Amino acid sequence: MYTDGTTGSLAERAARAFAAYRDGDAQAMSDLVDTTTTLLWHTARGQGLDPAQAEDVVQTTWLTLVQHAPSIHDPQAVLKWLLTTTRREAWATAKRSRREDVREELGEDAGAPTQSAEPEQVLVRGQEQVVLWKHFSTLSDRCQQLLRVVAFAERPDYAHVAEALGMPVGSIGPTRGRCLAKLRLALGADPSWDVAS
Amino acid sequence: MSEDLDRLAAEPLDAEDLLALGTLRAIFAASDPVPPGLAERSKFAMTVAALEAEVAQITAAGVEAAGVRTTTYDRAQTVTFSSAHLSAMITIELVDGGRARISGWVSADGPTAVELRERSRTQTTETDADGRFRFAQVERGLVHLLLRRLDLPDSRPVITPAIEI
């Protein structure tokens, strides 16, 4: 997963696998699924879906890719396409299920789902994780969604992933972006975030 | 505060960002792991869709104790499956070296191409006049069988769910 870019970014690996698949290499699609499913899972879960819904959304995204493969002209865009499709599908699913939950409450179903799904039980081990989670939890849902997925991407993918999740960061190079900057400010102000670097 | 935020936001990522993201990743990886098998299930759904295949139902699966336990193989597993157009039965025998042998029989009226889809390769054979087929060297792992009627080229292929070898 996270290799600090030494094996090439996820976007590049995804592009190569997709190009090979389009050239008739069925195995390449299998590699693409192995490479990218983790990101898609966290994209779907971050949008407020329960695990069963998130599984459905991830599978639907892959099925949609099979159907739309001929229309994706630029293999370089396939990771972004996958993330965008997952996010949209998850958004629609969350909205549907929320509407079912609050059907009797008028006006409640007009907006997008806003709650960010936390794992059923957050396991934090050690001081670093405790402090990190404390500050991460105070970020906006949008920032939590973004950073959760970015955390599973590789460094060169940051801008790519952020853009696909609807939060473009700097156009030149992977700048930190506001969500990560907010987290860094909070961590910097907390003496218990003791980074021995 | 806001100026600090703008300035921080415009900077490139540094080691502390990577530490923070790494810590976040560790929390989510432990708290909300990707369900095992999600990638495999996705691939299967994609294969079915790409081939417009009919998915066979597994109707019976059982482990039979081999009559004599030898070093050559220690158990045989029989799996029966059926679709609207055919049914088939396979027997899996484990052999030395972590491999397996698959022999099977297809009920179709005509010759059938049988594809064995292993994780990293695909083997192909055809049924004989009695509907029998055989794969002598199969890697352990999840496999699918894909059956196509050779005499009915327009018919939908039939794919089995994943079978653990």
CA of B129 to nearest chain A CA: how many angstroms apart? 31
Q: Choose among B8, B46, B122: nearest Cβ to A66.
A: B46
Q: Which residue ranges make up each domain of chain A?
A: 10-188
Q: Which residue ranges make up each domain of chain B?
A: 2-31, 38-164
| Beta carbons within 8 Å of B102's beta carbon, 6+ residues apart | B90, B91, B92, B93, B116, B134, B135, B138, B165
pLDDT in tens, B29-61: 999 999 998 998 899 888 888 888 888 888 877
Residue B141 pLDDT: 83
CB proximity under 8 Å: A 77-136 to B: 119, 121-125, 128-129, 132-133, 136
- Using only C-alpha atoms, chain A has a radius of gyration, in whole angstroms, of 18
Residue A150: pLDDT band with limits 50, 70, 90: very high
pLDDT in tens, A93-108: 988 887 776 654 554 4
pLDDT at residue B70 tops 60: no
Instruction: Check residues A94 and B119 and name the one with the higher pLDDT.
Output: A94
CA of B43 to nearest chain A CA: how many angstroms apart? 7
pLDDT at residue B68 tops 90: no
Output the average pLDDT for chain A: 83
A76-96 exposure pattern, b = at least 16 Cβ within 10 A, e = fewer: bbbbbbbbbbbbebbbebbbe
pTM of the model: 0.78
Q: Choose among A123, A132, A169: nearest Cβ to B24.
A: A132
Single out the residue of A116, A161, A144 nearest to residue A11, CA to CA.
Answer: A161
Residue A148: pLDDT band with limits 50, 70, 90: very high
Strand (E) positions, chain A?
A: none
Choice among A145-149, A152-156, A164-168 with the minimum mean pLDDT: A164-168
Q: Choose among A59, A176, A195: nearest Cβ to B11.
A: A176
Using a CB–CB cutoff of 8 Å, tell me whether A68 touches chain B.
Answer: no
Q: How does strand B54-55 pair with strand B158-159?
A: parallel
Instruction: Check residues A169 and A170 and name the one with the higher pLDDT.
Output: A169
- pLDDT (mean) for A80-92: 94
Nearest-Cα residue of chain B relative to residue A64? B46
Phi, psi (degrees; rounded to nearest 5) at B58:
-80, 120
Residue A191: pLDDT band with limits 50, 70, 90: very high
Using a CB-CB cut-off of 8 Å, the residues of chain A touching B35 are 41, 51, 55
Using a CB–CB cutoff of 8 Å, tell me whether A14 touches chain B.
Answer: no
Say if the Cβ atoms of A178 and B9 lie within 8 Å.
yes
Say if the Cβ atoms of A62 and B27 lie within 8 Å.
no
3-state secondary structure of A186: helix
Using a CB-CB cut-off of 8 Å, the residues of chain A touching B39 are 33-34, 37
User: What tokens were used for A112?
Assistant: 């997008």
Residue B49 pLDDT: 85
pLDDT in tens, B145-161: 999 999 988 889 999 88
Q: Choose among A27, A55, A151: nearest Cβ to B35.
A: A55
Residue A186 pLDDT: 95
Residue A79 pLDDT: 93
What angle do helix axes A51-68 and B38-51 make, rounded to 10 degrees? 40
Using a CB-CB cut-off of 8 Å, the residues of chain A touching B38 are 37, 41, 55, 58-59
pLDDT at residue B101 tops 70: yes
pLDDT in tens, A1-52: 444 444 578 888 999 999 998 888 878 888 899 989 999 999 999 998 999 9
Residue B73 pLDDT: 40
Using a CB–CB cutoff of 8 Å, tell me whether A183 touches chain B.
Answer: yes
Interface residue of A18, A27, A53, A62 to substitute, partner B, most B CBs within 10 Å: A62
- pLDDT (mean) for A110-136: 75
Residue A27 pLDDT: 82
Q: Choose among B4, B17, B19: nearest Cβ to A176.
A: B17
Say if the Cβ atoms of A62 and B25 lie within 8 Å.
no
Residue A165 pLDDT: 87
Instruction: Check residues A119 and A91 and name the one with the higher pLDDT.
Output: A91
Say how far apart CA A185 and CA A189 lie, in whole Å.
Answer: 6
pLDDT at residue B71 tops 90: no
Using a CB–CB cutoff of 8 Å, tell me whether A37 touches chain B.
Answer: yes
Say if the Cβ atoms of B41 and A59 lie within 8 Å.
yes
Residue A149, classified by CB atoms within 10 Å of its CB into exposed (0-12), middle (13-18) or buried (19+), is: buried
